[in-house]
Structure 1
Amino acid sequence: MTKVLILGANGQIAREAIDLFKDRKDIQLSLFLRQAKRIQPVAPSDSKIIEGDVLNPEDLTAAVTGQDVVYANLSGTNSIEKQAKSVVTAMDKAGVKRLIWISTLGIYDEVPGKFGEWNHHMLDDGYLPNYSAAAKIIEASDLDYTIIRPAWLTNKHEIDYETTQKGTPFVGTEVSRRSVAAFVVELAENPAIEIRHSVGLNKPNTDGDQPAWY
């Protein structure tokens, strides 16, 4: 049995992941969020719901202790760097190594061409610099992390994605939240893959100057 803690469990990608995790008999979920009542309607009956704040060291360390995998589905332009530090500290204190961290495309200036210019225009106002700083904290840690850098997100009920690695150009412009969730589930079930990698995620054949739906 693999124990998986989801931080920010009420996030849209996290909810998709919960839906995919619920039929995995080899996974035991713990769902961490500020307001437990928000996730209760979709939480699997055998999951544990933990109310707490990622920026509260006592809350977070207690939740992380005893877990096998921590999946961080966190957000907050002004706080994401602090949240990254908090997660690394709590995992080090609890002796938990495996981290799956959701970030965003463009944190390494890896998106080429006109789409890269458009992405910068849309995300440069604090978003990319702060998410880049958070990723640097994760990469400087001794954790067995995987950073996921999704393309622009859709709500399509589909699983269709391809990956790129840090150091190579990002491809595609969009990907479904369910696809990101499916990749998270794959990593949780196969925790030895993509160790200390930063992985771009996109739907194949969606190249363009910006997402087609935007």
Structure 2
Amino acid sequence: MKNVVIIGANGRSAREITSRLAQQKDVALTLFLRRPHRLDGIATDTMTLVEGDAHDRDALRTAMIDQDIVIVALGGEDLDTTTAAVVDAAEEAGVRRIVTINAGGIYDELPEPFNTWDYQRAGATRPRNRKSADVVEQSSLAHTILRPVWLTDETVTDVELTRKGETYKGTETSRASLGKFIADIVTDPNSYVGENLGITQPGTDGDRPTAYR
């Protein structure tokens, strides 16, 4: 049995991950979020809901005891701070495997003119997202960092990957593809260890996402 905890379990991407992990019979799933009632009708009796704040290292550490894999689906203006708290708690609790969702653009790796368009709309988030990725890479944890771009609710689960240092491909990432990709990593926790990956929906190259054209 694999014990898996999702930090920030209320988000739309987190729900895509949860629904897929719920189908894996060898996964015991813990959902960590500030307001567990938000998952009423979504969480099942086989899941453990933990009320807690990602700024609270003690709460995080308690939730991570005996966990094998931690999945970080946080966002917000202090992502670097909360990521540091999660990493510290995971190391203290003895967790070895971490998967985090970050964002494309943090290395100025998006192709032009998409890079300029994205920077004009979300450039203010890049420094803290970059710090968040740095914290994970500098940790002792076996990590995978995923860098999606503009998220959609498309049902497609095919992905196109780029590695750190490579020019990004595509302008969109479906939440469904994030959910499936992370669930596949849980199936094989040795996959993509040490990787920092751009992840997109194939066929979405262009100067901006479809919804903004």
| TM-score, scaled relative to structure 2 | 0.97
Q: Percent identity?
A: 37
Cα RMSD over matched residues? 0.9
Q: Report how far residue 151 of structure 1 moved.
A: 2.1
Q: Does 1:118 align with 2:117?
A: yes
Matching residue of 2:9: 9
In the alignment, structure 1 residue 72 sits paired with structure 2 residue 72: yes
Shift of 1:40: 2.6
1:69 Cα deviation from its structure 2 partner: 0.4
Structure 1 position 5, deviation (Å): 0.1
| TM-superposed deviation, 1:55 | 0.8
2:195 aligned with 1:197, yes or no?
yes
The worse-fitting range, judged by mean Cα deviation, of 155-164 and 28-37 is 155-164
Match of 1:33 in 2: 33
1:95-110 equivalence runs, <5 A: 95-110=94-109
Match of residue 56 from structure 1:
56
Partner of 2:93 in structure 1? 94
| Match status 1:45 vs 2:45 | yes
- SS of the residue corresponding to residue 178 of structure 2 reads helix
Query: In structure 1, what is the equivalent of residue 185 of structure 2?
Result: 187
Give 1:7 deviation, angstroms.
0.4
**Structure 1 unaligned residues grouped into runs of 5+:** none
Partners of 1:151 and 1:83 lie apart in 2 by 20
CA distance in 1, matches of 2:111, 2:10: 32
1:178 aligned residue: 176
Residue 134 of structure 1, CA deviation: 0.9
Matched, 1:160 2:158: yes
Q: Which runs of 5+ in 2 are unaligned?
A: none
Aligned 8 A contact 2:156 2:201 in 1: no
